[in-house]
Amino acid sequence: MFFWDFILLLLPPLLLLLLLLLIIIIIIIIINRAIGTHTPSPVCEKEDVTIFWNPGVHADRDVTANKPHLIIKNKKRKHAQ
């Protein structure tokens, strides 16, 4: 009889803990899906600066790695990095 009373005493907190863990796991999954789907716009322009994200670069010869992550173009100096 003592064992059964002990189980009934511990069951509600354990169920509550399992429910809380399930809610936390669902929230983590939702946050990870939202973060993983974001892609920035390919071009961002301000007054004198243009930023290109992940553009293809045309060269006069074959280059296998022709996609830098960022190109920053300064319109005043007419210079790109």
CA distances from 43 to 35, 59, 70 (A): 20, 20, 10
Q: How far apart are CA 75 and CA 56, in angstroms?
A: 20
12-18 average pLDDT score: 85
Q: How far apart are CA 72 and CA 44, in angstroms?
A: 10
Of the candidates 63, 35, 34, 38, the residue with the CA atom closest to the CA atom of residue 53: 38
4-8 average pLDDT score: 71
20-76 pLDDT tens trace: 999 999 999 888 887 767 777 778 888 888 888 777 776 777 776 666 677 788 887
10-26 average pLDDT score: 88
pTM of the model: 0.42
Which letter does DSSP use for residue 49 in this model? E
Reported residue count of the chain is 81
